[in-house]
A and B are shown apart, each in its own frame.
Chain A
Amino acid sequence: MTESPAQAAAQGHTSRARQYLIIFFVLFVLTVLEVAVAYIRGHRVEIVVVLCALAAVKAACVALFFMHLKWETRVLRATVVIPLSLPVLYALVLITEAAWRRLTL
């Protein structure tokens, strides 16, 4: 009997349910950590750096595991990551420029 494409896909499919639950737990813990860090007073620069790092890790978890980028081809990963890295680079340039201006003026 010839199997349908759906049956063939189901047979070749490896369940990632456990992995998804681990990522859910990681996202939950990081969100709690973010909120806790946000309530700390003082040390603003350090807090901003930590919050941005936590957000980057959470976003990477979603993109790699939930959006399946981890299992995609390198060329697809590069097609997504390179253009979306450019605004981050631009932001870093602007932050550096602003910091430099404040130090020198």
Chain B
Amino acid sequence: MQAAAQAHGHSHSREIAWPPDHLFGRASAGKIAMWIFIVSDGLSFAGLLLAYGILRGESEAWHHPGEPELGIAFTALLTFLLICSSVSMVFAYEAAVEQRRGRAALFLGLTALGGLLFLLGQYSEYFGILHPGLTKEGLVFGQSAYASTFYVITSFHGFHVLSGTVYILVTLVRWLRGAATAGQIELLGLFWHFVDLVWILVFTLVYLIPPGP
């Protein structure tokens, strides 16, 4: 091995130095990787939301007869739930940094619970639990741009909530085993807050903007 290194002109006595850069080491490789993922994922959502905006802006009538309006009050509750889960996530990170292991686990568990309740709420909105869901009320995928963009955007976000919840539960188990670090919980938090941030935009653009004249 040494011979091979020497053959390539390297020697073990000379350390490889990083070029002088005051920013080197200010963010971990994991954090930079997570931000790259978040930016690219954010651009995916941006593509969906732009397509939605173009279709809605150019349509003669967005809501077709027989199609239900989206429930603002119920979705506002789901929004509040995601905001609460973001707060519990930052408290989990705080506790993890302070090495308060039980408190960190508790807040991670609460965040996962928030994610599960959001998914339950979305299921209820689509298919109905206590009341008929949108699919039974006449909002059918493929029937109109209104229906299709709604299901594509919200289910893509729902998939993120699902994967985020699994990510939280896996990290929670690793934390309880002593295999996860506070830095890893910060990365998890970045993803979870991103999911919350995207929902803030989806809630406004898809649910709150009133129909045109």
**Once the chains are docked, how many angstroms separate the CA of A90 from the CA of B53?**
11
In the bound complex, do residue A67 and residue B182 qualify as a contact, i.e. CB atoms below 8 Å apart?
Answer: no
In the bound complex, do residue B46 and residue A84 qualify as a contact, i.e. CB atoms below 8 Å apart?
Answer: yes
In the bound complex, do residue A34 and residue B182 qualify as a contact, i.e. CB atoms below 8 Å apart?
Answer: no
Q: 0/1 per residue, B171-191, Cβ < 8 Å to A?
A: 000000000011000100110
Chain A residues with Cβ under 8 A from B27's Cβ?
72-73, 76
In the bound complex, do residue A35 and residue B208 qualify as a contact, i.e. CB atoms below 8 Å apart?
Answer: yes
CB distance from A38 to the nearest CB of B (A): 4
Whether A24 contacts B208 in the complex (CB less than 8 A), given A31-B76, A80-B38, comes out as no
Residue of B39, B84, B201 touching A59 (CB-CB under 8 A): B201
In the bound complex, do residue A84 and residue B181 qualify as a contact, i.e. CB atoms below 8 Å apart?
Answer: no
Kindly specify which of B85-93, B115-123, B134-142 makes contact with the partner chain.
B85-93
- The A interface is mostly helix, strand or loop, or mixed, namely helix
With contacts defined as CB atoms under 8 Å apart, how many contacts are there between chain A and chain B in the complex?
A: 126
Q: 0/1 per residue, B32-60, Cβ < 8 Å to A?
A: 10010011001100110110011001100
Count of residues in A whose CB is under 8 Å from the partner chain: 48
Chain A residues with Cβ under 8 A from B73's Cβ?
35
Count of residues in B whose CB is under 8 Å from the partner chain: 53
Whether A20 contacts B50 in the complex (CB less than 8 A), given A31-B83, A38-B210, comes out as no
In the bound complex, do residue B182 and residue A9 qualify as a contact, i.e. CB atoms below 8 Å apart?
Answer: yes
**Once the chains are docked, how many angstroms separate the CA of A95 from the CA of B94?**
42
Q: 0/1 per residue, A61-105, Cβ < 8 Å to B?
A: 011001110001101100110011001001100110010000000
Chain B residues with Cβ under 8 A from A7's Cβ?
99
Chain B residues with Cβ under 8 A from A38's Cβ?
72, 207-210
**Once the chains are docked, how many angstroms separate the CA of A75 from the CA of B201?**
25
Interface check A6, CB cutoff 8 A: yes
Kindly specify which of B9-17, B144-152, B153-161, B192-200 makes contact with the partner chain.
B192-200
5 A-B pairs whose Cβ atoms sit less than 8 Å apart in the complex: A31-B80, A34-B76, A35-B72, A44-B210, A66-B87
Q: Which residues in A have some Cβ–Cβ distance to B below 8 Å? A: 6-7, 9-10, 13, 15-17, 20-21, 24, 27-28, 31, 34-35, 37-39, 41, 44, 47-48, 51-52, 54-55, 58-59, 62-63, 66-68, 72-73, 75-76, 79-80, 83-84, 87, 90-91, 94-95, 98
Q: Which residues in B have some Cβ–Cβ distance to A below 8 Å? A: 23, 26-27, 32, 35, 38-39, 42-43, 46-47, 49-50, 53-54, 57-58, 72-73, 76, 79-80, 83-84, 86-87, 89-91, 94, 97-99, 181-182, 186, 189-190, 193-194, 196-197, 200-201, 203-205, 207-210, 212-213
